[in-house]
C-alpha cells in the first residue's frame, strides 16, 4: 500500500488507538515539582522528567529527583530522569540602568572590552565572546534575547568593537543570550558549571544527559569523559541547536546515544523556513542509525496559559510523529 492509499483510508470516526508508540518528555518546574503534581503528569503519559540546569540549585534539583522517584514508585512506573545542561553561551553584560531601549534606524557599538561589562548603554554595550570581531564580519547579523533583537554589523571599529545597525525596537535588559547565525563559534563543550552539574547528575544517578549546543562529535566525547566510569551507562542526548551541529550531524549521531532537535536556538541560527527541513532530515538520519530522537521547543506552547492548543500546535506535534520522532518534549 502506498502512502497516498494509506492516507485515503484514514477516518476520523475510527476509535483512538489504545497504545502510544511515542514518548513524552516533560520539563519539571516549581509548579510541577511536588509528588502529587508529578503523579498527575505520569498518569497523563509523562515518560521522562527533564530538569533544566540553566535554573535552580543542586539542592532544588535533588528534591525534584527524589520526588520523581517517589511518585514513580507509588504508581509502579519507571520514569526516566534527564539533566539538561546549561551549555556554553554568549551573553550581553549589564546595563547602567538595568536596561537599554534600542530603536530601529539607530546605530550601536558592541564591544568585548571588559571595561564595559557592567555599564552598558543604548550607545555601547558588552558581549562576552572575545572572538566576536573576527567571527562576525560586516553584513553579518547578531541576534540578541532569543533572536528578538536583530543587529546588522556595519563595520569593525577596532579589535574589540563592532558598529551595528538596529533593525527593530527592543527593550534590552541584563545578561541576554546572543546568537551569531552562520558563524563558526569556538566555545568549550563543557563549561565549569556544566562540569559540576554533570558530576552532580552522576552522583544522583540520572538516566540521561541532554547536552546543550553540541557542534562536533569530539564535544560529545568530552561530555562522556566528564561522566567518567561511574557515569558510563548514562545516555548522552546531543542537542542540535546551530548550523555547525547540523553540518556535523552524521558524526554526532554516531558518537551520541540519541539526538534532540532543539528548534528554539536552531530557529535563530538558521532561517526559520529551514528548521522544518533540518527536523525532517535529522529525525530520518536517527531512524536509519537506530538512535532515539526527540523533537523539542514550543510544543503546545500556548497551553501554558490556555486549556486548548491551537490547530497549528496540534499539527506540529502530529508532524513530529509522522517525521519519525521517538519523543516530543514539553
Question: Do 32 and 149 fall into the same domain?
Answer: no
Same domain, 126 and 197: no
Co-location of 242 and 117 in the same domain:
no
Q: Which residue pairs from 238-241 have beta carbons closer than 8 angstroms and sit at least 24 positions apart in sequence?
A: 238/211, 238/214, 239/84, 239/87, 239/210, 239/211, 239/212, 239/213, 239/214, 239/296, 240/214, 240/266, 240/278, 240/282, 241/212, 241/213, 241/214, 241/265, 241/266, 241/269
**Are both 133 and 151 inside the same structural domain?**
yes
Q: Is the pLDDT of residue 274 over 90?
A: yes
What is the rounded CA–CA span in Å between residue 260 and residue 268? 16
What pLDDT is stored for residue 285 in this prediction? 99
pLDDT recorded at residue 19: 79
- Which residues form the domain of 121? 99-179
The mean per-residue pLDDT over the stretch 62-79 comes to 98
Any idea which residues carry the catalytic annotation?
50, 91, 239, 297
Look at residues 260, 283, 275 and name the one whose alpha carbon lies nearest to residue 214: 260
Angle at 190 between CA 89 and CA 242, to 5 degrees: 50
Q: Number of structural domains, the chain?
A: 2
Pair (80, 193) in one structural domain: yes
User: Does some domain include residue 66?
Assistant: yes
Q: Are residues 218 and 74 in the same domain?
A: yes
> Cell numbers at residue 287, please?
531512524
Q: Are 82 and 112 in the same domain?
A: no
Confidence check: pLDDT of 102 > 80: yes
Reduce the DSSP state of residue 12 to 3 states and report it.
Answer: coil
Residue keyed to cell 519523543: 327
Read off the CATH number of the domain in which 144 is found.
2.40.33.10
C-alpha cell at 249: 550531524
Q: Residue 18 has what pLDDT?
A: 77
**Domain edge (last residue) among 179, 203, 238:** 179
How much of the chain, in percent, has pLDDT values that exceed 90? 88
- 170 and 81 in a common domain: no
Task: Note the pLDDT of residue 178.
Answer: 95
- Secondary structure (3-state) at 88: coil
| Residue 1 pLDDT exceeds 90 | no
For residues 21 and 93, give the distance between their C-alpha atoms in angstroms, rounded to a whole number: 45
Judged by average pLDDT, the poorest of 180-184, 243-247, 283-287 is 180-184
Average pLDDT of the chain to the nearest whole number: 95
Q: Both 148 and 114 in a single domain?
A: yes
Per-residue confidence at 20, pLDDT binned at 50, 70, 90?
A: confident
**Which residues, in sequence order, are CB contacts of 251 under 8 Å at separation 6+?**
216, 217
Write the pLDDT tens digit of every residue in 163-214. Answer: 999 999 999 999 999 999 989 898 988 999 999 999 999 999 999 999 999 9
* 248 falls within a domain: yes
Q: What is the pLDDT of residues 48-69, one digit of tens each?
A: 999 999 989 999 999 999 999 9
130, pLDDT greater than 80: yes
Q: Is residue 200 part of a domain?
A: yes
Same domain? 60 vs 133: no
Q: 224 and 310 in one domain?
A: yes
In a domain, 7, yes or no: no
H or E segment and range at residue 48: strand 46-52
pLDDT at 289: 98
Amino acid at each position: 500500500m502506498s502512502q497516498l492509499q494509506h492516507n485515503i483510508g484514514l477516518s476520523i470516526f475510527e476509535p483512538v488507538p489504545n497504545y502510544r508508540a511515542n514518548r513524552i518528555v516533560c520539563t519539571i518546574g516549581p509548579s510541577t515539582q511536588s509528588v502529587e503534581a508529578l503523579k498527575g503528569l505520569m498518569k497523563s503519559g509523562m515518560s521522562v522528567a527533564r530538569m533544566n540546569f540553566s535554573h535552580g540549585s543542586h539542592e532544588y534539583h535533588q528534591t525534584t529527583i527524589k520526588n520523581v522517584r517517589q511518585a514513580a514508585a507509588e504508581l509502579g512506573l519507571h520514569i526516566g530522569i534527564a539533566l539538561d545542561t546549561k551549555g556554553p553561551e554568549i551573553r550581553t553584560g549589564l546595563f547602567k540602568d538595568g536596561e537599554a531601549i534600542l530603536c530601529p534606524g539607530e546605530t550601536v557599538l558592541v564591544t568585548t572590552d571588559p571595561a564595559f561589562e557592567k555599564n552598558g548603554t543604548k550607545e555601547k554595550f558588552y558581549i562576552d565572546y572575545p572572538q566576536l570581531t573576527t567571527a562576525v564580519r560586516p553584513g553579518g547579523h547578531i541576534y540578541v534575547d532569543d533572536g528578538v533583537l536583530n543587529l546588522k554589523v556595519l563595520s569593525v571599529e577596532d579589535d574589540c568593537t563592532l558598529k551595528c545597525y538596529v533593525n527593530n525596537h527592543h527593550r534590552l535588559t541584563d545578561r541576554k543570550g546572543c546568537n551569531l547565525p552562520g558563524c563558526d563559534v569556538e566555545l568549550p563543550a563543557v563549561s565549569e558549571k556544566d562540569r559540576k552539574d554533570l558530576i552532580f547528575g552522576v552522583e544522583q544517578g540520572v538516566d540521561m544527559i541532554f547536552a546543550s549546543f553540541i557542534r562536533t562529535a569530539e564535544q560529545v566525547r568530552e561530555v562522556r569523559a566528564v561522566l567518567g566510569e561511574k557515569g558510563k551507562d548514562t545516555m548522552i542526548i546531543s542537542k542540535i541547536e546551530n548550523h555547525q551541529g547540523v553540518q556535523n550531524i552524521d558524526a554526532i549521531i554516531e558518537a551520541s546515544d540519541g539526538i534532540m532537535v532543539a528548534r528554539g536556538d536552531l530557529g535563530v541560527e538558521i532561517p526559520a523556513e529551514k528548521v522544518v527541513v533540518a527536523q525532517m532530515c535529522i529525525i530520518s538520519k536517527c531512524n536509519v542509525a537506530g538512535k532515539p530522537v526527540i523533537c523539542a521547543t514550543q510544543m503546545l506552547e500556548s497551553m501554558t496559559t490556555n486549556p486548548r492548543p491551537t490547530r497549528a500546535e496540534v499539527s506540529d506535534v502530529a508532524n513530529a510523529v509522522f517525521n519519525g520522532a521517538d519523543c516530543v518534549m514539553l
